[in-house]
Amino acid sequence: MRALLLIMWIALGGALGSVSRYLLTAVINQVSIGVWKPGTLAVNLIGCFLFGLIWTRADMKMQLESTMAIALMGGFLGAFTTFSTYAFQTADLVQNKDYAWAALNLITHNGLGIAMVFAGIVVAKGGTQVG
């Protein structure tokens, strides 16, 4: 019964995460920069930050049960972040010979994504160091 309840929470989180991703990406993509649309990047950075925050809060056993952390990270954030869309957009930029934009997409998503995970950890720890 507990496993079924967890799966239901993950499914609900996934539904909410995918709808949130769609809406936020659509709003942000109204402001495009050349051929590059920043909506996917914004969603991935927000998702990375929230993942670091939730992961650290759950690990520190602060304000978050493990079941809720799993539902948020595996459900909501799993559907909210958009790695496949990011990969497709990068490939599309390469196919269109927009190599500089493709490189910028790779660097910003990966570099800033990792930085946002660490930022979430720092915030979760109340501004203390990552390590």
Give 25-84 as a DSSP string: HHHHTTS-BTTB-THHHHHHHHHHHHHHHHHHHHHTTSS--HHHHHIIIIIIIHHHS-HH
pLDDT at 82: 80
Please say if the pLDDT value at position 131 is more than 70.
no
Q: Is the pLDDT of residue 130 over 80?
A: no
Calpha distance 56→59 (Å, rounded): 5
Whole-number average pLDDT of the chain: 89
Q: Which residue has the higher pLDDT, 43 or 59?
A: 43
What pLDDT band is residue 109 in, cutting at 50, 70 and 90?
very high
35-52: pLDDT as tens digits? 888 999 999 999 999 988
State pTM to two decimals.
0.77
